[in-house]
Amino acid sequence: MRITSALVDPALLDLPWSTPLEQWPADHLVALPQGISRHIVRFVKLAGTVYAVKETGERVAEKEYDLLRALERIGFPSVEAVAVVADRHAPDGEPLDTVLVTRHLQFSLPYRALFSHTLRENTMIRLLDAQAALLVRMHLTGFFWGDCSLSNTLFRRDAGAFAAYLVDAETGALRPKLSNGQRDEDLDIARVNIFGEALDLQAAGLLHESIDPEQMSDEVIKRYERLWHEITYEQEVRQDSRHHMEGRIRRLNELGFDVAEVSMSVSDSGQSFMVRPKVVDPGYHVRRLFRLTGLDAEENQARQLLNDLDTYRAESDLTDEQQAAHRWLTEVFEPVVRAVPANLRGKLEPTELFSQVLNHRWRLSEEAGRDVGLAPAVQSFLNDVLVHRPDEQAVLGVEPDALLA
């Protein structure tokens, strides 16, 4: 047996590598919901961390391992590659398939665990937005997926929206830049795969009767094209209307994208400029929040937390941004997180918890016609909302049906 690992974890050696993955004993496994896969996939726990283990071909496993490691280095939202286990043999000497090990993404769920007959249409729209945004970010990075689907994606809650993460990269390729033809090929694959997955949900009775599978797959592409156009189109700006260019940059920032530079050329008439911003990797609010507080969050979470930080700074009359951020972290954010009892801390990750507390406070204040304050909102959220939520952390021993319910 040969192990190539990005993580030095001796516990990897204790797993039954001489047994086909399909026959691994239950005491090694964790019951977690998963999407449709052409490979055998199992979840295991090592030293308190959950890993996904997938059997595949050796060359495919090594390629996917290298791609996931490359995506991790550039900060792309994907699962983390941990190891490739090759040269496996059964006790009788028969060769076994190579295995790819990835770290399971905490507080994430596959799409089948999010769909049910009670799925609201706006929830589905948020999922499709997340899938489209993942594709846009991928193509800006120069990554060709080759097998875009809901099954190959994990979703995490993001302040009322969802954030999507790539799970399967075995058909992918990372290039300096993608051509329009390569992007179109990825979109065609996405449309077919998502249509098939929607039909599968419909056949299983998990898709609301008001949702049309074909419309669902087309909607992802439409949302992708609108977002791609906003990010990349060349804009004509009159010389006396330069504020339009500043407005475009602000809109891109609101979408979560940084602008590294702006390309400008004089139009043929000489009365205007042709402007094209160069958008770099998304994460505008994520990076600002991390720089100020050290908190790691999704984009919408970061935007909401920054808004609360800016409000705190204005109310405290603090001119220094770093000082305001430190006080907000220690006087506002951390007390809210510490208020959660130990038995409820697997319900939501801290940044999503704080985001939902802010929304809960707003609703209570609207009902009362006044600001109810943060402390009462926290207690109300814990007692009336959080205690009734299912855990979204990687919880051991939970049956998939329980998470679906």
Single out the residue of 179, 191, 183 nearest to residue 221, CA to CA.
191
Q: What is the amino acid identity at position 138?
A: M
Strand ranges (E), 224-302 = 235-238, 257-266, 272-282
Q: What pLDDT score was predicted for residue 325? A: 92
The highest-level CATH class for domain 108-231 is mainly alpha
Q: Give the helix, strand, coil percentages of the chain, each rounded to 5.
A: 50, 20, 30
Name the β-bridge partners of 263: 276
* Domain-wise residue ranges, the chain: 2-104, 108-231, 234-282, 298-388
pLDDT of residue 39: 83
pLDDT of res. 285: 79
Q: What is the pLDDT of residue 156?
A: 86
For residue 227, give both structure tokens: 């977002």
pLDDT digits (tens), the chain, 405 positions: 888 887 767 778 888 999 999 899 888 788 776 666 778 889 888 877 889 999 999 999 999 999 999 999 888 899 999 999 999 999 999 999 999 999 988 888 888 877 754 556 777 888 888 899 899 989 988 999 999 999 899 998 887 778 899 999 999 999 999 999 999 999 999 999 999 998 988 888 888 777 889 999 999 999 899 888 888 877 777 766 656 666 777 777 666 666 655 666 776 666 676 776 666 556 777 888 888 898 888 888 888 898 899 888 888 888 888 889 999 999 999 999 999 998 888 888 899 999 999 999 999 999 988 889 999 999 999 999 998 876 654 433 334 344 344
Nearest of 115, 88, 110 to residue 99 by alpha carbon: 88
Q: What is the pLDDT of residue 358?
A: 92
The interaxial angle of helices 213-232 and 180-203, nearest 10 deg, is 150
Q: What is the pLDDT of residue 402?
A: 44
**Class (C level, CATH) for 2-104:** alpha beta
Separation CA 31–CA 43 (nearest Å): 7
